[in-house]
Amino acid sequence: GAAARDGEPRRGGPADSPFVRACRREGGPRTPVWFMRQAGRSLPEYREIRKNVGMLESCRRPELVAEITLQPVRRHQVDAAILFSDIVVPVAAAGVDLDIVPGTGPVVAEPVRTAADVERIRPITRDDVSYVDSAVRLLVAELGDTPLIGFAGAPFTLASYLVEGGPSRTHAKTKALMYGEPELWHALCDRLADLACAFLRVQVDAGVSAVQLFDSWAGALSEADYRRYVLPHSTKVLSGLADAGVPRIHFGVGTAELLGAMGEAGADVVGVDWRTPLDVATRRIGADRAVQGNLDPAVLLAPWPVVEAEVRRILAEGRATPGHVFNLGHGVLPETDPDVLTRVVALVHEVSARPAE
- Return the residue of 5, 8, 48, 103 that touches ligand CP3, per CB under 6 A: 103
- Range 60-89, binding ligand CP3 (CB under 6 A): 82, 84, 86-87
- Range 11-70, binding ligand CP3 (CB under 6 A): 36-41, 50, 55
7 annotated binding-site participant: no
d(CA 134, CA 129): 9
Q: Is 144 an interacting residue with respect to ligand CP3 (CB under 6 A)?
A: no
Closest to 221 (Cα-Cα) out of 190, 195, 251, 253? 253
Asked, as a colleague might, if the bond just before 294 is cis with ω within 30 of 0, I would say yes
Least distance to ligand CP3 from the beta carbon of 89, Å? 9
- Range 157-186, binding ligand CP3 (CB under 6 A): 157
Binding mask 288-327 for ligand CP3 (x = CB under 6 A): ----------------------------------------
- Return the residue of 25, 112, 146, 151 that touches ligand CP3, per CB under 6 A: 151
Pairing of the two strands 98-101 and 105-108: antiparallel
Exposure b/e, 272-309, CB count within 10 A at least 16 = b: bbbebbbeebbebbeeebbbbbbbbbebbeeeeeebee
Q: CB under 8 Å to 290, separation ≥6 — which residues?
A: 22, 23, 24, 25, 247, 268, 269, 270, 321, 322, 323, 324, 325
Q: Is 106 an interacting residue with respect to ligand CP3 (CB under 6 A)?
A: yes
Least distance to ligand CP3 from the beta carbon of 81, Å? 9
11 is catalytic: no
> Nearer Cβ to ligand CP3, position 213 or 231?
213
- For 322, the 3-state DSSP assignment is coil
Q: Which residues are annotated as a binding site for substrate?
A: 37-41, 86, 161, 216, 330
Contact positions vs ligand CP3 (CB under 6 A): 36-41, 50, 55, 82, 84, 86-87, 100, 102-106, 151, 157, 214, 216, 331
